[in-house]
Structure 1
Amino acid sequence: MDETSELGTARCPGPSVQDYLDRDSRPVPPALRYVNNDYLGSEDIDTTRFTSREWAEHEMRQVWRRVWQFACLESEIPEVGDHEIYEIGDDSLIIVRTAPDEIRAYVNACLHRGRKLRTSSGNVSELRCPFHGFAWNLDGTMQTPPCAWDFPHVTPEKFALPEAKVATWRGFVFINMDPYAEPFESYRGTFDEYYIWPLQDRYKSLHIAKVLPCNWKIAQDAFIESFHVIATHPQMLPWLADANSQYDVMADQPNWNRMINIQGAPSPHVADSVTEEDVLETFYDSRAFYAAAQGRDLVIQEGDEMPAIPPGGTARQVLAERMRAQLAATSQQDFTQTADTELLDAINYLLFPNFNPWGGAKSNIIYRFKPNGLDPDSCTAEIIFMSAPKQPGEMPPPVKIRWVPEDMLFADIPELGVLGPVFDQDCENLPYVQQGLKAMRKPGITLSNYQESRIRHFNQTLDRWMNK
């Protein structure tokens, strides 16, 4: 046998995610029964990608101007003339609904002297530059320029606004600035087969954004693995099976990966000293972190009596039944046959480069991390809640983005629930990672073979784009 044949096959002792799903009280969707982790090597990842201004500028040209990326929601531009501004690095795009069934993305710069055409979202009947009055129709064609007699060299038919490609997916608008980019359908690969939840039937109920003092990849990497739970979130260990998490990475699917974290079961780090009653009690004490954060209505009020675990039962089963009971009382949808895992577990996907939707039967979180201009030492972090309407068909309007000041904690935002202080625990590490990478004499970071395989998968995809 080849001495390297077993590399990447080691897993944490104890029940796997699939072992837990075998015991769920309802049938589990086939998409969550998929298990695949291709061994991608164990080489270090160079640190310059996180700290170098030169890398950041090259990344903007090679990656961000060539990949499909989430720009806004269709529901944010429902009427003709509605538009949002999407900015990445030095690029600015106007995402505008030009017809009831058409969305376009224009470069946000006047072709006369370069002034931005729009600086905020809204509704317009034309795109007019405030500087000298040059204007374009919503279809991107130029209107007669002011003082046309002085511009005999400008012909409207050759002065159309440059465009980016646009695609829509389950209510989300994606753009690609490369005119030769592959279609979004093929870019996603098999992602649609394994992300099964109808985001188009949900509305944006919360949108929080904050500038963080670290590279965008450092921030994103922190949220696509559970290895850090043991040190960063020790309060979760009695009810989150962190080291037993499942990581799905596919060498032939470079643009997406996934992890599944079991909740309502103990971490293998503490399993020998934790009873099922301990799992349930600590889950209640932590205010049902993920469930509440994802709008899943598992609300635990002061004075709520903790249910008893029946003989032979588990805390996980009790929590799933509690969730179904609350949903039956607050929702018009039927969740009686919904799998326990869809109600309880943290199921996180990454669609390259930075669309991070969580799975779940009721509501979902979306994370988005982006460069902050061309600064390698800062980024923007966004948390979006996509919630199911209380009445089917009655879709509330999407909320506006809310920027959090640098000196404000996520814990100070009541709508985030317990996700706020947990997000703060994560963010506390990030500036010190950025600083440490600059001080470190070792030229690369060293990743585990399994628990950090999503980080390796993401960085290998990044390298492909950087080297094209």
Structure 2
Amino acid sequence: KKTWQMACREEEIPEVGDHQVYDVASLSILVVRVAEDEIRAFHNVCLHRSRKIKAHAGRSEMLRCPFHGWTWNLDGSLREIPCAWDFPHVNAEDYGLPAVQVGTWGGFVFVNPDLEAESLEDYLGELPAHFERWPLEKRYKAVHVARVLPCNWKVAQEAFMEAYHVLSTHPQLLAGIGDANSQYDVWGNVSRAITPNGTPSPHLDWKPSEQDLLDAMTNRYLDEDPAMVLPEAMTGRQLLGQASRVQLAPLVPGAFELTDAELLDSFYYTVFPNFHPWGAYNRITYRFRPHGNDPHHCIMEVMYLSPYRGKRPPPCEIHWLGPDEDFTHAPELGFLGRVFNQDAFNLGAVQAGLRAGVHENLVFSNYQETKIRHWHRLLDQYIEAE
């Protein structure tokens, strides 16, 4: 209730009256486009008998509770009470929908239930400066997949905050990823990791050829022909960087000026408490939320934000995976569906181990789990401030 959280993309509420619902634990927040250049957010609760006003996204000329018909204008002011004669004690000025703070960055809409909290700009600190070369507001939501996982939301997101797990969880990637050579940085409410790709893991006891590196980065299976054959006197990293520039050139001005690092390496950020945008030209963004008030399940969301040229394509609909579906049932995720399955395979077992309560304290590494250490330090600060 004290933090800024990503609620939706601006492109998901392009017209006046468009609204999105952001549910997190017991809170429900209604984000509404009230004017071409104005977005507001309110607690999604009727002030009569507390029914949720909106159950899902849509477009409305007004905000009407389905239970008894109490109605508010898009700006949150009270518009109508059926049988108003029976409520002489209700003053319209006192019954506007309770507002929450709202702010935007990178094409995302953020909300904060605490009206006294610092501004979104102050909360994000240096983050916008990091993304000046990679403006996320100039992307569109091409993929959005959600899945309920059998673990606490904190357990789930921690699996995506370090490269230490690659050695054991994603061994197929080792020929082309410098997992243990990752860089970790933390500041304010933000942390970042940079994992180099196109370089072998220092854990390997053999030296991959440049073609091996290329095969690892293009997800080649052993029974498949190489997706790309490396020319002489060229590294796999150089070839993929060159190919990426050619691919992005029709969509991104200045694509041929982008560095290999921007095109190939993994820059993964975390904004406390649950938002994980990737930098450079990797399209990934994660969001993790509690599944209602169940501490043993959570919602993991994966979005791909793609560059475009010309008219912005419409945002995709969210693809909810069923209880018997894994990430490979979302073909739009590509080869990462199999990678996410490897991550998810661990998470229920971690939750079971935590519930066993065998030891009170987890053990974090000094450096490779820096982002997780920093996240828990921030959590402790918020708890202690209560």
Report the TM-score, using the length of structure 2 for normalisation.
Answer: 0.95
Could you say which residue in structure 2 is the equivalent of 1:267?
Answer: 201
Is this contact kept in 2: 1:254–1:457, CA < 8 A?
no
Could you say which residue in structure 2 is the equivalent of 1:346?
Answer: 266
1:380-409 deviation digits (Å, cap 9, x = unpaired):
0000010011xx232001111111012111
| Aligned-residue CA RMSD (Å) | 1.7
Partner Cα separation in structure 1 for residue 34 and residue 46 of structure 2: 18
Change (3 A) 1:115 1:319: same
Query: SS at 2:256's partner residue?
Result: coil
- The answer to whether residue 93 in structure 2 is matched with residue 172 in structure 1 is no
Is this contact kept in 2: 1:84–1:122, CA < 8 A?
yes
Please say which of residues 454-463 and 192-201 is displaced more in the overlay. 192-201
Change (3 A) 1:257 1:303: closer
Could you say which residue in structure 2 is the equivalent of 1:335?
Answer: 255
Change (3 A) 1:332 1:71: closer
Q: CA deviation at 1:373?
A: 1.4
Amino acid at match of 1:201: K
Task: Specify which of 384, 397, 415 is matched with residue 332 of structure 2.
Answer: 415
Task: Specify which of 142, 157, 174 is matched with residue 220 of structure 1.
Answer: 157
Partner Cα separation in structure 1 for residue 280 and residue 124 of structure 2: 20
Q: CA deviation at 1:271?
A: 6.0
Q: CA deviation at 1:314?
A: 2.5
Q: CA deviation at 1:318?
A: 2.1
Is this contact kept in 2: 1:284–1:306, CA < 8 A?
no
Could you say which residue in structure 2 is the equivalent of 1:425?
Answer: 342
Partner Cα separation in structure 2 for residue 235 and residue 148 of structure 1: 67
Q: Percent identity?
A: 48
Query: SS at 1:273's partner residue?
Result: coil
- The answer to whether residue 335 in structure 2 is matched with residue 401 in structure 1 is no
Query: SS at 1:238's partner residue?
Result: helix
Could you say which residue in structure 1 is the equivalent of 2:188?
Answer: 254
Is this contact kept in 1: 2:220–2:227, CA < 8 A?
no
Unaligned ranges ≥5, structure 1: 1-64, 288-300
Is this contact kept in 2: 1:232–1:426, CA < 8 A?
yes
Change (3 A) 1:225 1:163: same
Partner Cα separation in structure 2 for residue 341 and residue 402 of structure 1: 31
Partner Cα separation in structure 1 for residue 219 and residue 303 of structure 2: 25
Partner Cα separation in structure 1 for residue 48 and residue 327 of structure 2: 43
Q: CA deviation at 1:324?
A: 2.3
Query: SS at 1:120's partner residue?
Result: coil
Query: SS at 2:246's partner residue?
Result: helix
Is this contact kept in 1: 2:211–2:229, CA < 8 A?
no
Write out aligned runs for 1:195-344 (5 A). 195-196=131-132, 197-249=134-186, 253-270=187-204, 272-286=206-220, 304-310=227-233, 313-328=234-249, 331=251, 333-344=253-264
Amino acid at match of 1:405: G
Unaligned ranges ≥5, structure 2: none
Partner Cα separation in structure 1 for residue 334 and residue 156 of structure 2: 21
Change (3 A) 1:129 1:317: same
Write out aligned runs for 1:40-79 (5 A). 65-79=1-15
Change (3 A) 1:128 1:282: closer
Partner Cα separation in structure 1 for residue 140 and residue 220 of structure 2: 26
Could you say which residue in structure 2 is the equivalent of 1:45?
Answer: none
Partner Cα separation in structure 1 for residue 302 and residue 218 of structure 2: 24
Could you say which residue in structure 2 is the equivalent of 1:92?
Answer: 28
Is this contact kept in 1: 2:287–2:302, CA < 8 A?
yes
Change (3 A) 1:131 1:281: closer
Q: CA deviation at 1:414?
A: 1.3
Query: SS at 2:355's partner residue?
Result: helix
Could you say which residue in structure 2 is the equivalent of 1:46?
Answer: none
Q: CA deviation at 1:305?
A: 4.6
Task: Specify which of 436, 441, 454 is matched with residue 353 of structure 2.
Answer: 436
Could you say which residue in structure 2 is the equivalent of 1:54?
Answer: none
Partner Cα separation in structure 1 for residue 54 and residue 199 of structure 2: 50
Partner Cα separation in structure 2 for residue 408 and residue 226 of structure 1: 26
Task: Specify which of 55, 73, 96 is matched with residue 137 of structure 1.
Answer: 73
Is this contact kept in 1: 2:145–2:330, CA < 8 A?
no
Query: SS at 1:445's partner residue?
Result: coil
Is this contact kept in 2: 1:349–1:359, CA < 8 A?
yes
Partner Cα separation in structure 1 for residue 184 and residue 354 of structure 2: 26
Please say which of residues 331-340 and 120-129 is displaced more in the overlay. 331-340
Higher relative contact order at CA 8 Å, sep ≥6: structure 1 or structure 2?
Answer: 1
Amino acid at match of 2:336: L
Q: CA deviation at 1:195?
A: 3.0
1:443-466 deviation digits (Å, cap 9, x = unpaired):
111000000011000100011001
Could you say which residue in structure 2 is the equivalent of 1:372?
Answer: 291
Partner Cα separation in structure 1 for residue 220 and residue 150 of structure 2: 28
The count of aligned residue pairs is 382
Change (3 A) 1:302 1:354: same
Could you say which residue in structure 2 is the equivalent of 1:51?
Answer: none
Report the TM-score, using the length of structure 1 for normalisation.
Answer: 0.79
1:85-108 deviation digits (Å, cap 9, x = unpaired):
111111111100111111111111
Partner Cα separation in structure 2 for residue 427 and residue 285 of structure 1: 19
Partner Cα separation in structure 2 for residue 283 and residue 72 of structure 1: 31
Is this contact kept in 2: 1:135–1:143, CA < 8 A?
yes
Change (3 A) 1:145 1:435: same
Q: CA deviation at 1:327?
A: 3.5
Change (3 A) 1:366 1:112: same
Query: SS at 1:325's partner residue?
Result: helix
Partner Cα separation in structure 1 for residue 380 and residue 175 of structure 2: 38
Q: CA deviation at 1:194?
A: 2.1
Amino acid at match of 2:42: Y
Q: CA deviation at 1:260?
A: 0.6
Partner Cα separation in structure 2 for residue 248 and residue 189 of structure 1: 14
Q: CA deviation at 1:323?
A: 2.0
